[in-house]
Structure 1
Amino acid sequence: MDDLVAQFEYQAQQTFRSDDANLSSVADNEPIFFKSKLPWIFNPNTEIRHMVVSNNVFILHLNDKTLQRRCLDEQSNDSYPFQEIHLLDSIQNMFLDPYGRYLVVSTKKTKEIFLAISSQSSLKLIKKPIKFGQNKNFILASLTWCNRFLRSEEIDNKIVALAAGTDGTIYEIAFLREQELYITEVYRSLVPIMDEKKDCVTGIYCDVKSSYDDNTNIFIVITTQIALYYYENQIDPTRKQDYFLPFFNLYKDYTLSDLKYRVYPVGNVHTEIQLFYRTKRSTSSQLLYRQFAWITGAGLLYTEIDPTNVQKSFLEKSHIINYQFDQRLLVQDKERPPSSVALTEFHCLMMFPTENQIRAICTVNGQIVMVDGSMASGAPVCYCRDHIKDQLWACTDQNVLRYTIKDERRDVWRVFMKKNDFQKAFEHCVVADDPIETARRQRSIESKHADHLYNENKMVPSATVYAASDTSFEDVTLKFLTLKNKEPLRTYLLAVLNNQKPLTDSTQITILTLWLIDLFLNELDELRPSKINLNDPTETVDEYFARFNKNSISPSATSDSFESLRKSFQYFLHQQKIEQCLIDHRSAVYDLLTSHGDLDDLILFAEHVKDYERVILLYLEREEYDKALNTLKPLDDAVLYYKYSPILVEKLPDDVIQAWKTKYKNLLPNKLLPAMIAYSRAFPKGKLILDFLTHCLHVGCDDKSIHNYLLSEYVKFDRSKIMPYLRNQKEDIEMILYDPRYALRLCIDNDLKEESVFLYKILNLHEEAVDMALQVNVRLAKECVENIEGERCKKLWLKIARHVITQEGSDLDQAMEILRDCELLKVEDILPLFPDFQTIDHFQKPIIKSLEKYNDRLEELRQEMDQASKSIDNIREDLTRYRTRCVATIDSDYKCSLCEQLLMLQTQFYIFSCQHYFHADCLIAYIKRLKQLDKARIDKIQLYQSKLASGLTKQEEISELQQELDDLVAKECAICGEPAIDNIDQPLDLLL
């Protein structure tokens, strides 16, 4: 079917207005409305008078008395069988239910009402007219279908409608599947009003108020020739019938003054009610948004039904849309209201049979957007909307037309923008597949909106909107710079700043940030309540408030404004977007804040950018030491502690030293020594530093300077802890944690003798230790030499003995005790120390014991000497025995190292471990040539040679002579041994 329809589609020739209200731009001049002719073939003599469509079921009023049923879902081609029925009287009007099953037809002459049943491939007329009780003069003016409130399971078996008579009576009709009707009169109170006003009912419309789910709240609109009446109430959907009888009982006794209505000059014209549903049935839980149109003589009554306030939509917000008559025809009295209208989302299509044209009027601004005068398919008859299929249809006297709407929203945003309805302009400017175009439209709307606000003197709101518009930055800032109030400029700059991208617009962010800071500071200067007239230093506070009163400015109001602006300023500084900018350009911000004298905000800003050193400095300048310390406490920056502790410890010693303990893991105690010294100077008797140093000791501090300072504090405040501290340290000078020399000097200066003795021992200054110990007592001196050995020990014991003998009155008992304690001292060592008049009787026993020891020692030495002599003799015998023994392996090809001849050519030769080999004759001759040998030695070698050569010598003498010759010649290698070294300065030719 779609392919078949496509063959007959054609584009309507449309004429567009060129005024500002035109919805189509120059670029988008493609038509919005397209109509295509259905391929239905009618008899050439057939004229279509009217048409209704529901659920793809078409009921056509042909000629005068014929009804024809056609259905898109049932046809496969244009030769399908359609159904027709013929009435005896001319047809006046017809109403088809939303599902295409029940058709109500009224006739002209007899004013009778008939029911036709539409089913698949059939249209059956119930020949018996519908009777409305005893009201035989009932003339059907309009009928509205009320199936919205029915439950879904009831719709298949029942459909309810309200029939309005021209006299004002309202009937409820229930259509059942068995072709049975239940008709109940539900409202007559309008009849006397119609009689009194000589008016008649022309239309009726019933629907739910807010949504399909809320089906108990109903409203009804009844139109007459001069007015529109509005009713609302609740119904009970659980009833079996007579749903509207309780509804209208509320209005049973209402007079005209009690009813809610609005008068409209309709006139004696054909009227029609049309609806457009924006909310579709699939979204039953959503609010139901609808548009309502009613043809009147004065124009088209139009309203958008607000589901939250339906009554107001009809009685207050409804308005008349002009038909835009052609003035020439109007003068000739040939222009008539439209015969039919159709609503779309933003337009109303109107048929004007007398002009044979269709006009499309924008419901937003009431302007014509299209005039279609190319009705080649016949004279226009009516529009029909199939609400089930959401399809718009039209018919001429010859054809049925399908309407297609393309991109109806494309220029609606411009219309709303021209009407200054910027919210709706935003809602309708979105292009689904083109975000760039959407953004361009939004900027245009914002620009227009901002201009509108600016012209209405709404400067601050306009500033916010300008920031999102495409108006140039220079134009906007120049506008606001001329204003005395800088809040709009500040608001605009803030909004522009929020639109910047941190990664790509860093320069713009910097400029805007600094400008805004300066604006904030200028405004704060003007509002600062505590600011006395700087031009008049003599101005008092009373004069200051008097000046405010004179200018009609409340000091309290100014203070509130100042605090509010200051909070805004602080909020601005804490924006994440400018955080990096503030850090990078903090010096510029500091300069701005300083130039305005705003120290409070300067401190807050420094805290924000985490420039805590500046914060501390500022607090110190203001002598707010507690705030400076509170700033320092949470920090882990050890440098700041080292730098500012010397100042703070003089003002808040307890808190500062407690902070040192808390942050000990992040601090090096030796870096705090300047602060400790400052404390000691400020509080000579204060012990807090000693407490901190003790804490350092307990937590394992191994810094030498800290331990040294701890010793100095011990000396000042608690000397009893010095010796335990020293003993607790290791005695190895390389392992102790304090400087022993410094500690020794400290103890000597403060006359701490025992501690000095201990430190002398650490430094291995045992003599000094003994000297110092003897100033205390002999016992301490003895302890000093306990671990010393050898002559040094004897010397120190002798020193102690001398002290005992000379300084303590020649105490013989102590002297004898010293001899017992030190085995190195003998009685003869200490005897010279006693005075000459000392009697020897007291030394008899020690002397005898000493002599006995000497005798024992001599005997031991004699035995050792005998053993040594025996050992020497044994060694000599071994040497003699092994002198002639040689074990060596030589090859037959070994050569003499001097003559280069084979070694085996002579019977006597010498072999050395250095692998030099010599003939005996060659070696002797070489030795004789050495200059360093004295003449006696050479002569001795020649003598031995001659004796050996004579053969007259005894064998024993020969052996001795040979041994002596070997000792002279072969003691060492002549080439690489000591002889070669001794003759290094001899020429080679002399040696060889």
Structure 2
Amino acid sequence: MTSLFDQYEQVYVKPKNNLNPVQLSNLGYINITMDQDTPIFTKSKKDFTPSNKITHAVISNKYMVIAMANNVLFRMNLQNPTEKSEIAFSKYTQNKLGNLFLDPTGNHLLLTFIPKNPKVDSPELMYLSRKSDKLKCTTKFRGNEITAVAWNQLNKSDQSTGLILLGTAKGLIFETEIVAEGDKFFSSSLEQYWKQLPNYLPLYSNREVEGLVFDIGKNTDTPITALEYFRGVDKCVVFAATPSRLYLFSGKNNGDEKLVLQQIFHKYLNITESETFIASESKLRYSRLQFWFGELPSKFTWITEQGIYYGEFDITKDDSMAVLEKKIKLLNYPKPPYEDYSKLPKYPLSIALTEFHILLAYADRIKGMCLLNEEQVYEDQYNEAFGKLVSILRDCKTGDIWAMTENTMFRFRVNKEERNIWSIFCEKNQFDLAKKYSKNNEVCYNQVLIKEAEMLFNQEQYQLSAERYAETQSSFEEICLKFIQVNQSDALKILLRNKLSRLKPQDKTQITMIVLWVVELYLTKLEEKRLEGLEKSAAYDEIQKDFDTFLTLQEVADCVRDNKGTIYELMQSHGDKSNLIKLTIVNKDFEQLIRQHIFKNNFHDALEILKSQNNYELYYHFAPILMQEIPKFMVKTLIEQGRKLVPLKLLPALVACDGNLHSLEAIRYLEYCITKLKNTDKAIHNFLISLYAKHNPQKLMEYLRSQGQELALVNYDVYFALHLCTEHNLTEACVELTGLLGLWESAVDLALKLNLDLAKKMADMSPDNDVELRKKLWLKIAQHVVKEKDDIKAAMEFLQQCDLIKIEDILPFFPDFVTIDHFKDAICNSLKEYNDYIQVLKEEMQDATDAADQVRQDIHAFRDSYMVINSYDKCEICDVTLMIRPFYTFPCHHKFHSDCLLSELSPSLGPTKKGRLADLERQLKTLNTQGNLDNVSTGSGVSAKEQVKTEIDNIIASECLYCGENMIRNIDKPFVEDYEYENVMKEWE
């Protein structure tokens, strides 16, 4: 049941929401009513009652430690409240507890004890591990009152604090590492490492030099009230605060924490101190410094008597106080509605920083203030029942905020503190940030865009303003009218284009209207430039490029395709021929445009459009008329297209050409197809021959020769070509074609009508293997020379040109009255040749007779030859005595047992011989078993057994195994067969 005090406390919480609610303008759509915002800060009392009054409290990583007035420490895990313990420190009653410091992990606690009588006792620093219930006294810091600790934010160990910094009441800074009992090495004290920063200069190596220490207090009573230490990827910074100064020290991060900190402070020994701090006049004995973290610290507040110093910090960039100071602004403390000037002002005792707000804890109340506009957004008073407000704490790990009074604790919840931040940034014209924090609220985001657009419009930045207006939900017509009134067509164009990109495909009417409007604006702008003579200028090119990009947009292309008639009219009204052509490219509407140009006799324009498109079927469609009107330019275009066109499909257009000029251009294209494109279509070649026959017979002969004399390889119809040439009386071409058909006699007859040399050439081209034909052809030529030309001298010279014809062959062609004197030399030469030939035959007959005699002598000698077989002779294969079994011997003196020779020779025999040999062996075996048949003779007087043996001998003993042809044929045969290789290798092993 809620107590009366709790009810009073809940009622007395006064959320301050002075930010004006969103006022929606008439934007052309239904207004959205926003519910009343819940307070940014709400608190809830926790079910916790300490055994005594709380004097000090710290919370980190959901772990709480409080000190009570009865000298007892209370520890509790806030995630698991049953995990709690109490530790008494009453034996230190001669000193009073000064402060508690808990590291970010919640594992390490430092306690500062201040002497009640400084003349008798000295300050002490105690350490308590989370895993221990025993306070342990440090030895190195006795006599130094620790007022601030900079914990190692990267440390995760529960045995060691890692490298930390300690600030004292006299402005000194120490670096140390405190290690629990389990991790200490050769040391009896808690401090694994301890050093005052810095205690030497690089000039003096490691030698300590008195006076060269980093001393902020300068031996005065100037306590360090806050100390923070952060490490980035390649940078390390240290913040130190006193009641009236905020120091910044930075240096490079080289990986070794100890060396890093030494380098940082060494650098500042030789730097003017004023460059390291900002000052704030203050009579207070304390100041408070707190950072807000993302992944790295990015914002901080420092409170002094003067107010709240608030700034943003980038650890990767800001490396000096001079840079940082420019980002810091001083905020006033929130004031009550009425102010009693007779009372001294009150200053906050502690703070809790969020991303955009700060909670200030006073003795009897907590106030919340927005850091961006200094407005108070929250106030909470605490009554006597809960005791005085001890502190407000922010868990640096979780971000949870806790308020501790003497008798209880409260938890604060932060509810969407960024909800109205957009409006603050908007008022400050920081629109990027305003949009960032309003992007989840369509209404707020729209207001930011409108205000930014209006500001840009008033600053005459019309194009940027148009971009922003396009994103809003404002009345489209009103915005367009604004830009029209100030004659800003470029800005209007940007507005329309951006609006177009935001329309949905189903908004056909709006899309059509905007596209036509934008096209009209572009065409107007381009026409103005052309009229000014700036068609070749960079500005014109830029507008044209932008227009081309616009036309390629999918929604624009679809709209233009559906309204191309209107677009064509617009472009024609502006005289924009080039864009009209480009538009046909976009819509692929070339056929209609080409027809229009042909209808107007603009054949060259039609050809240009034809060239600008990629539909090659249109070439075949319009080629006939363009070949008739502009043959030279059309052929040039066809040649430029090269292999993209099929010449066979263009043949109708070429055939339709009837004039001399047209035919010559057709020949030029056909020659290109044949020589460059290597076209082999017979129709193309036949048409070229027909054009050659009519207009250029000389080129016809060149063409026929280039095609060669192989009938199967020519690319034209030879009979068609022969018919054309006959029709046009092209005798030389007819000779060439008749010879190609193999009609050599007709070819020679035709050639003799035209040219004797041509006839000789044709006779010489006849088949070499048909001597009778060649002789017949040459006789035709000889007869023509003798009878037609009646030139005996030429006839005699003719005999020297052909070795197939003799004088006796041509004598019948001469008339009877011719005297022998004309043939004397020829007849003598012929008789001499016959005599020489008879002599050669005699010599060949004598050589043949001598060879036959030698063969007879060799046969007689071989019959009488013999070979001596010794008793110690062995078989060449098995190396066993030869005469123990049947054997063979050869003239080369190689000797083999018959069975050894058979087994060795069998694998190398062919399948036929091998089968026959096996059959003969079976027959011999059968005959051996039939002893009574051994003496039976065949019709020739030889027994069947002897006949089988003789045939076997003919197969296996026809030649020596080592010296015969069989050995040569098997020269590439391996010594060891593949299937025997493994067995042989094992035997060799």
Q: TM-score, normalised by structure 1?
A: 0.59
- The letter for the 2-side match of 1:605 is L
Within the candidate set 156, 174, 177, 1:174 is matched to 177
How far has the Cα of 1:76 moved from its partner?
4.9
1:632–1:641 contact (8 Å) kept in structure 2: no
Q: How far apart, in 1, do the equivalents of 2:665 and 2:528 lie?
A: 52
Within the candidate set 604, 608, 612, 1:631 is matched to 612
Q: How far apart, in 2, do the equivalents of 1:402 and 1:632 lie?
A: 75
Within the candidate set 379, 383, 395, 1:386 is matched to 395
SS in structure 1 opposite 2:162?
Answer: strand
Query: Paired residue for 2:519?
Result: 517
Q: How far apart, in 2, do the equivalents of 1:74 and 1:697 lie?
A: 88
Q: How far apart, in 1, do the equivalents of 2:539 and 2:691 lie?
A: 59
Query: Paired residue for 1:51?
Result: 57
1:273–1:292 contact (8 Å) kept in structure 2: yes
2:692–2:699 contact (8 Å) kept in structure 1: no
- The letter for the 2-side match of 1:225 is P
2:298 matches 1:266: no
Q: How far apart, in 1, do the equivalents of 2:109 and 2:691 lie?
A: 115
Q: How far apart, in 1, do the equivalents of 2:50 and 2:423 lie?
A: 44
Query: Paired residue for 1:582?
Result: 560
2:95 matches 1:89: yes
Mark the CA change 1:55 to 1:716 in structure 2 (over 3 Å): closer, same or farther.
closer
2:257 matches 1:276: no
Query: Paired residue for 2:589?
Result: 611
Q: How far apart, in 2, do the equivalents of 1:156 and 1:9 lie?
A: 46
Q: How far apart, in 2, do the equivalents of 1:224 and 1:661 lie?
A: 86
How far has the Cα of 1:636 moved from its partner?
2.9
Q: How far apart, in 1, do the equivalents of 2:678 and 2:133 lie?
A: 111
Query: Paired residue for 1:322?
Result: 332
How far has the Cα of 1:509 moved from its partner?
2.0
What are the superposed Cα offsets for residues 298-343 of structure 1, whole Å, 9 maximum, x if unpaired?
Answer: 2111122223323467322011222111152353435412121101
Query: Paired residue for 2:405?
Result: 396
2:443 matches 1:426: no
Query: Paired residue for 1:483?
Result: 486
1:455-466 to structure 2, matched below 5 A, reads 455-466=458-469
1:85–1:123 contact (8 Å) kept in structure 2: no
How far has the Cα of 1:221 moved from its partner?
1.9
Q: How far apart, in 2, do the equivalents of 1:226 and 1:643 lie?
A: 97
1:391–1:403 contact (8 Å) kept in structure 2: yes
Within the candidate set 421, 440, 448, 2:451 is matched to 448
Q: How far apart, in 1, do the equivalents of 2:577 and 2:411 lie?
A: 76
Query: Paired residue for 1:526?
Result: 528
2:148 matches 1:143: yes
2:53–2:406 contact (8 Å) kept in structure 1: yes
Unaligned runs of 5+ in 2: 1-5, 24-32, 182-188, 199-210, 705-716, 732-989
How far has the Cα of 1:232 moved from its partner?
1.0
1:892-971 to structure 2, matched below 5 A, reads none
How far has the Cα of 1:479 moved from its partner?
1.2
Query: Paired residue for 1:200?
Result: 222
2:236–2:260 contact (8 Å) kept in structure 1: no
Larger mean Cα displacement after TM superposition, 660-669 or 567-576: 660-669
1:529-928 to structure 2, matched below 5 A, reads 531=532, 559-613=537-591, 621=602, 623=604, 627-628=608-609, 630-631=611-612, 635-638=616-619, 640-642=621-623, 644-646=625-627, 649-652=630-633, 654-656=635-637, 658=639, 662=643, 665=646, 668-669=649-650, 671-672=652-653, 676-677=657-658, 680=660, 687-688=667-668, 714=693
How far has the Cα of 1:584 moved from its partner?
1.9
Mark the CA change 1:594 to 1:667 in structure 2 (over 3 Å): closer, same or farther.
farther
2:167 matches 1:164: yes
How far has the Cα of 1:698 moved from its partner?
8.2
RMSD (Å) for aligned C-alpha atoms: 4.7
Within the candidate set 352, 355, 378, 1:370 is matched to 378
Q: How far apart, in 1, do the equivalents of 2:171 and 2:11 lie?
A: 42
- The letter for the 2-side match of 1:276 is W
Mark the CA change 1:13 to 1:460 in structure 2 (over 3 Å): closer, same or farther.
farther
Query: Paired residue for 2:19?
Result: 20
- The letter for the 2-side match of 1:71 is M
1:97-246 to structure 2, matched below 5 A, reads 97-98=103-104, 99-107=106-114, 109-110=116-117, 112-120=122-130, 123-126=133-136, 131=141, 138-140=144-146, 142-148=147-153, 156-178=159-181, 180-181=190-191, 182-187=193-198, 200-209=222-231, 211=232, 213-214=233-234, 217-234=235-252, 238=256, 244-246=261-263
Q: TM-score, normalised by structure 2?
A: 0.59
What are the superposed Cα offsets for residues 166-200 of structure 1, whole Å, 9 maximum, x if unpaired?
Answer: 4332222331213523442215779887569x883
2:95–2:113 contact (8 Å) kept in structure 1: no
SS in structure 2 opposite 1:250?
Answer: helix
Q: How far apart, in 1, do the equivalents of 2:340 and 2:664 lie?
A: 113
How far has the Cα of 1:489 moved from its partner?
0.9
Mark the CA change 1:622 to 1:568 in structure 2 (over 3 Å): closer, same or farther.
farther
1:218–1:233 contact (8 Å) kept in structure 2: yes
Query: Paired residue for 2:420?
Result: 411
Q: How far apart, in 2, do the equivalents of 1:123 and 1:9 lie?
A: 39
How far has the Cα of 1:660 moved from its partner?
9.0
How far has the Cα of 1:618 moved from its partner?
6.3
Structure number with greater Rg is 1
- The letter for the 1-side match of 2:266 is N
What are the superposed Cα offsets for residues 798-829 of structure 1, whole Å, 9 maximum, x if unpaired?
Answer: xxxxxxxxxxxxxxxxxxxxxxxxxxxxxxxx
How far has the Cα of 1:399 moved from its partner?
0.7
SS in structure 1 opposite 2:537?
Answer: helix
Q: How many residues align?
A: 675
How far has the Cα of 1:562 moved from its partner?
2.0
- The letter for the 1-side match of 2:249 is Y
1:228–1:261 contact (8 Å) kept in structure 2: yes
How far has the Cα of 1:348 moved from its partner?
0.9
- The letter for the 2-side match of 1:292 is F
Within the candidate set 484, 492, 495, 2:495 is matched to 492
Mark the CA change 1:146 to 1:398 in structure 2 (over 3 Å): closer, same or farther.
closer
Q: How far apart, in 2, do the equivalents of 1:626 and 1:637 lie?
A: 11
What are the superposed Cα offsets for residues 612-642 of structure 1, whole Å, 9 maximum, x if unpaired?
Answer: 3466566984946874563367623356434
1:573–1:579 contact (8 Å) kept in structure 2: yes
Mark the CA change 1:675 to 1:378 in structure 2 (over 3 Å): closer, same or farther.
farther
Mark the CA change 1:600 to 1:358 in structure 2 (over 3 Å): closer, same or farther.
same
Mark the CA change 1:186 to 1:110 in structure 2 (over 3 Å): closer, same or farther.
farther
Mark the CA change 1:687 to 1:16 in structure 2 (over 3 Å): closer, same or farther.
same
What are the superposed Cα offsets for residues 762-819 of structure 1, whole Å, 9 maximum, x if unpaired?
Answer: xxxxxxxxxxxxxxxxxxxxxxxxxxxxxxxxxxxxxxxxxxxxxxxxxxxxxxxxxx
Larger mean Cα displacement after TM superposition, 579-588 or 303-312: 303-312
Q: How far apart, in 1, do the equivalents of 2:545 and 2:34 lie?
A: 50
Unaligned runs of 5+ in 1: 1-6, 280-287, 432-436, 533-554, 726-736, 754-992
Mark the CA change 1:747 to 1:301 in structure 2 (over 3 Å): closer, same or farther.
same
Query: Paired residue for 1:307?
Result: 315
2:138–2:190 contact (8 Å) kept in structure 1: no
Q: How far apart, in 2, do the equivalents of 1:50 and 1:275 lie?
A: 21
SS in structure 1 opposite 2:390?
Answer: strand
Mark the CA change 1:334 to 1:416 in structure 2 (over 3 Å): closer, same or farther.
same
SS in structure 1 opposite 2:299?
Answer: strand
Q: How far apart, in 2, do the equivalents of 1:127 and 1:289 lie?
A: 32
Mark the CA change 1:647 to 1:47 in structure 2 (over 3 Å): closer, same or farther.
farther
2:369–2:376 contact (8 Å) kept in structure 1: yes
2:367–2:380 contact (8 Å) kept in structure 1: yes
Larger mean Cα displacement after TM superposition, 562-571 or 371-380: 371-380
2:453–2:468 contact (8 Å) kept in structure 1: yes
